Structure 1
Amino acid sequence: MFDIQAIRAATPGCENRIHLNNAGAGLLSRETLTTMTGHLELEASIGGYEAAASERERIAQTYANIAELINGRADEIALFDNSTHAWNAAFYSMSFKRGDRILTGRAEYGSNVLAYLQIAQRTGAEIVIVPNDEHGQLDLHAMENLIDNRTKLIGVSHIPTSGGLINPAAAIGQIARKAGVPFLLDATQSVGQIPVDVEALGCDMLTATGRKYLRGPRGIGFLWVRTSALEHLEPFVAEIASATWNGDRGFEWQPGATRFETWEYSYSNILGLSTAVRQTLDIGMEAIGPRCTELGASLRGQLDAIQGVTTYDLGARKGAIVTAKIDNIPTDVAAAMLGKQGINVSTTAPEQTQFDTEDRGVHPLIRLSPHYYNTEDEIAQAVRAVSDLASRAR
C-alpha cells in the first residue's frame, strides 16, 4: 500500500477541503503544479516555440506514459484539449448511412448522445439503446441479440458521469470482436479510478480526460485508437498536424493516431498530464483501483444507513462515484450546504445522461466521488454532515 499521508502532504488541496469531487476534477499534486508552472515560466523567458522545442523529449514521453497506463502503444495515442473532442474525433471519423445502427447503453454520456442524435438526423442511422439487466448495467445477452449486419458501432460509457456503475466493458469487447463491430469506449471516469487495459477490454477506440481520476490539469484529454482500426476511420478534420501535403492537390494522413491531432496545444497541460500519469504509474493501479472501490463502497454503505438518505448507484460492480438524495432538500441546495462546510461535491443533471433519465427519472442527485488520497476520517466527516442535513430536514 502507498503512503497516503505523504501523498496528501504533496497535494495542496488536501490542506483545507474534503475533496469528494474527483469525478469532476481531481486535486493536482505539487509536482504536477510545478511541472506546469515551470513550463509557463520557460515560455515566458525564452518564447513559446522555443520552450516546446527544448522540451521535445518530455512531450514525447507523455504519449509513452499514457500508453503504458492503458497497455497500448505510444503511436496509438492522440492528444486533445478535452475528452469530448477526443471522442468526437473518433466517432465523426466513422461513416454512417440510412439504416445503419449504433448500439449504446442507458448510461451513455450526454455529449455522446447528442452526437448520436445529430448523426441520426443527418444520415438516417438508427440509435439502438441496449436495455439494462437486473443489476442496472448494460444487458450483455440483449446486446448480443440486437447485433446484426446493420450494426456499425457499439458505443459505451465504461463508468457513467451519473453514478457508481461499472459497465462490463471486457465482456462487451468480446461480443464486439466476435461480431466484427467497432467498439468505442468512453473511459473518462474509469482511467485513473480502476485498471484499464485496452487489450483486455477489446475496444477499438478509447477516450479519457486528464482532469478527473488521473489528477491532471483541466484542458487535456486523449484518444487511443487500435492500429488495425485506422483503415476504417477517416478523420473529419485535415490540418497541418494531421496530414502532409503531397506537393500537388492532395495529402496523406500522418501515421498512427497523430492523424487525429491538431497543431496547437497547451504544452504546459501536456507536461502536467505526463507528470500526473507518471505518478499514477508509480503508485500503481493495482493499489489505486481497490482503494477507490473500497472508499466508494464504504461511503455508499454509510449513506444508505442514514434515515432520509437514498443512494442510486447501479451495477453488479460499483466504483468510487456515489450518488444520493436527501429527502426534503433540493439537490443543489444540499450540495451548496456541504460546500459551505468545506466538503466538495457536485450534482448530476438530467441532460448529462439522457437515456438514464428517460429510464429512471432520478436526477439531479448529489454526486460524491472519493479518490485514493481521501481518508476514512474524511468519509466519516462527510457522512456526518449529510446525516445532520437529513436530520434537520425530517
Structure 2
Amino acid sequence: MIDLASVRARIPALEQSVYLNTGGVAPLPEPVYRRLMSEFDERHLMGAPLNLRPRSFQEQKDRLRSELASFLGARAEEICFTRGVSDGANIVLNGYPWKEGDEIILTDEEYPSFILPALTLEKRRGIRIRVLKLVDDRATLLQRLEDLLSPRTRLVAVSHVTTDSGFRLPARAICSLAHQAGVQVYFDGAQAVGQLPVDLDWIGCDYYSLLSYKWLLGPYSAGLLYVRRDRQEDLDVDWVGARATASFDLKTRLLRLLPDARRFEFGPFPWPLYFALGDAAAWLSELGLRDIEEEVQQKVETLRTGLLAIPGVTIRSPAARDLRTGMVAFSLAAATGEAVSIALRQRRNIITRATDVRFDGVRACVAFYTSADEIDALLECLSDLAAEARRSTSIITSFPQGATP
C-alpha cells in the first residue's frame, strides 16, 4: 500500500497547485531532482566523467541500460536511448523499407509524434494511412482492427494509452492479431509507462517508444526506443552517428554498425537526464507499479462518480476498467474545453489541459499521488461552472474570473 503523505512530501511542487496534468509534464520528485543535481555537481566541481573516469562512466551507462531494460521487461541489447517519442518514431517509420502502396494503421487519437512521420511518408514514399476509430468496447475495437488489416498493411503504429481520453489499447491482443497477419506493431508508450506495469516481452510488440517526463516522473527530456532483437535488421539506419558504429574506415569504405539497438543511437546525450530517469524508474519500482495502477484506478472511480453527478458534464474517457487509465476527459455542455480549463486554473488553481483531437473537452490526469481533496476541489469548481453554463443561452468561450453561481 502506498503511503500518500510520504509520497507527496517528496514532490514539493504539489504544494503550488491542484496539479492534474501529469500527462503533460510531471512534477519532479525529490530523489530524481537530487540525482540530477548530483550529476551536475560532479561535472561542475570535478569535470567531465568521460575524461576523469572513462571506464567506470561507461560501466555506469551500461548498467543504466540494463536496469531500464529490466524495468520494461526487455533486454539491454534491445534498448536505444533517444530524446523522446518523436526520435523513436522517426527511427522506426523512416527506417522501415516501405514500398509504394504499403499501409500503416494509426488510431483517430494519435499524437503528432506518429502522425507527422506518417504524413511525410505518404507524400514522399506513397504509403497509405488507414485510421482505426476507437470505441469503448474491446471486442469491437479488435474487430475494427482486423477489418483494416490487408495484404498491404505493414505496420500498426498506435498509442498504448492515448493522449486525450487516456484510452488504454489492448496491447497484447493487438500484437497477436497483427502478427497473425504478418504485420509489425509499434506502440507510443509516453502515456503508459509509469502509471501501469509494462512488460514488453509479454506484450510481444516489435517496437516501443517512451519518454521521461510524464508518468515516469523523470526530467525533461530523455527517452527510449525498444527494438525487438529479431527486428533490428529490418530497419535501415537512416540517421547515423559515431555511437552507432562498431568500426568504419573512409579509405576502404568500411562501415559496420553495432549488432544491437545501439546502432540507432545518434548525437550527444545529456547523461544526467538519463541517470535521473533511471532513478525515477527505480523509485516507481520501489513503490510498486501494481500498487500505483490500483491506486490510480480507485481515484479514477471516485472522480468518474462525481462527474456523472454533475448535470451537463459528459465523460469522454472509456468506462471499462481494462480500457481506462488515470487520464479522465470530460466536456461541459455549452462551454468550450479551453474555457473550462482556464476557469479551473483561475478560480481554484487547478491545472488541467483542453483536448481537441477527437472531441472538445478537458483532460484531468489523476496520478497515484493525487489526493482526495484535489479531486473534491475539481468537482466543486466544475459544479459551479456547470451551473453557470446552464444559465447561458450561447456557447461559453470564457468564464468571468471568480464568478459564482
Establish whether TM, by shorter chain, passes 0.5: yes
RMSD: 2.0
CA distance in 2, matches of 1:210, 1:193: 12
- CA distance in structure 2 between the partners assigned to 1:285 and 1:52 by the alignment: 35
Residue 324 (structure 1) aligned with residue 330 (structure 2) = yes
For 2:247 and 2:59, the matched residues in 1 are separated by 26
Contact 1:102 1:127 in 2 (8 A): yes
Task: Tell me if the contact between 1:101 and 1:152 (Cα under 8 Å) persists in the aligned partners.
Answer: yes
Q: Quickly say closer, same or farther: Cα 1:57–1:196, change in 2 above 3 A.
A: same
TM-superposition CA deviations, 1:276-297 (whole Å, max 9, x none): 0111111111111121222223
**Distance in 1 between residues matched to 2:121 and 2:301, nearest whole Å:** 38
Retained in 1: the 8 A contact 2:89–2:117?
A: no
Amino acid at match of 1:285: L
Cα contact 1:130–1:138 (8 A) shared by 2: no
Question: What is the match of residue 218 of structure 1?
Answer: 220
Partner residue in 2 for 1:338: 344
User: What's 1:23 paired with?
Assistant: 23
Alignment of 1:172-251 (within 5 A): 172-247=174-249, 248-251=252-255
| SS of alignment partner, residue 300 of structure 1 | helix
Counterparts of 2:52 and 2:156, CA distance in 1: 41
Counterparts of 1:68 and 1:122, CA distance in 2:
38
Which residue of 260, 265, 268 corresponds with 1:264? 268
Once residues 32 and 133 of structure 1 are traced to their aligned partners in structure 2, the CA distance between those partners, rounded to angstroms, is 37
Distance of aligned partners of 1:257 and 1:101 in 2 relative to their CA distance in 1, 3 Å threshold: same
Structure 1 gaps of 5+ residues are: 351-356
1:13 maps to 2:17: no
CA distance in 2, matches of 1:393, 1:127: 39
Do structure 1's residue 384 and structure 2's residue 380 form an aligned pair? yes
Q: In the TM superposition, what whole-angstrom CA distance separates every residue of 1:347-386 from its partner, at most 9, and x where no partner exists?
A: 2233xxxxxx3xxxx23x2110011111122211221121
Runs of 4+ in structure 1 over 4 Å off:
none
Structure 2 residue aligned with 1:348: 355
CA contact (8 A) 1:239 1:262 kept: yes
Between the two proteins, what is the percent identity of the paired residues?
A: 27
- d(CA) in 2 for partners of 1:311 and 1:134? 12
Map of 2:144 onto structure 1: 142
The one-character-per-residue Cα deviations of 1:111-159 (angstroms, maximum 9, x if unpaired) are 3112111111111111122344463897212322332332211111111
Secondary structure of residue in 2 paired with 1:255: coil
Shift of 1:51: 6.7
Equivalent of 1:253 in 242, 257, 267? 257
Counterpart of 1:387, as a letter, is: S
Q: Secondary structure at the match of 1:139?
A: helix
In the TM superposition, residue 214 of structure 1 has moved relative to its aligned partner by: 0.5
Q: Residues 139 and 62 from structure 1, CA distance in 2 versus in 1: closer, same or farther, beyond 3 angstroms? A: same
1:278-293 counterparts in 2 under 5 A? 278-293=282-297
Tell whether 2:294 aligns with 1:298.
Answer: no
Which amino acid is the alignment partner of residue 375 of structure 2? I
Map of 2:106 onto structure 1: 104
2:398 corresponds to? none
The separation in 1 between residues aligned to 2:120 and 2:17, in whole angstroms, is 41
- The letter of the residue matching 2:281 is V
Query: How far does residue 229 in structure 1 lie from its aligned partner after superposition?
Result: 0.7
Q: Bigger CA drift: 289-298 or 165-174?
A: 289-298
Aligned residues: 383
Q: Which residue of 2 aligns with 1:121?
A: 123
Q: 1:109 to 1:136 in 2, by over 3 A?
A: farther
Q: CA deviation at 1:228?
A: 0.6
Q: Provide the rounded CA distance (Å) in 1 between the counterparts of 2:85 and 2:52.
A: 25
Matched, 1:373 2:380: no
For 1:50 and 1:21, locate their aligned partners in 2 and report how far apart those are by CA, in whole Å.
40
Structure 1 residue 339: Cα displacement: 1.9
Q: Aligned partner of 1:282: which letter?
A: E
> How far 1:195 sits from its partner (Å)?
1.5
Measured in 1, the distance between the counterparts of 2:19 and 2:58 equals 34
Greater RCO, CA 8 A, separation 6+: 1
Q: Distance in 1 between matches of 2:242 and 2:332?
A: 52
Query: Does the aligned pair in 2 maintain the 1:26–1:212 contact within 8 Å?
Result: yes
TM-score relative to the length of structure 2: 0.89
Cα separation, 2, equivalents of 1:195 and 1:78: 20
Distance 1:263 1:130 in 2: 35
Q: Is the 8 A contact 1:138 1:168 kept in 2?
A: no
Looking at structure 2, the residues matched to 303 and 384 of structure 1 have their Cα atoms a distance apart, in angstroms, of: 10
Q: TM-score, normalising length from structure 1?
A: 0.91
- 1:94 corresponds to: 96
The CA distance in 2 between the partners of 1:51 and 1:375, in whole Å, is 45
**Equivalent residue of 1:246, what SS?**
strand
Match of 1:353 in 2: none
Cα deviations across residues 241-279 of structure 1 (Å, max 9, x unaligned)?
Answer: 112443221311112111111240111211110110111
Q: Which has the larger radius of gyration?
A: 2
Preserved contact between residue 52 and residue 267 of structure 1 (Cα < 8 Å): no
Question: Can you list the C-alpha shifts for 1:167-222, whole angstroms capped at 9, x where unaligned?
Answer: 11110011122222111111110111111111221100001111010000111111
Query: Aligned with 2:105: secondary structure?
Result: strand
Per the TM alignment, residue 329 of structure 1 is displaced from its structure 2 partner at its CA by 3.4
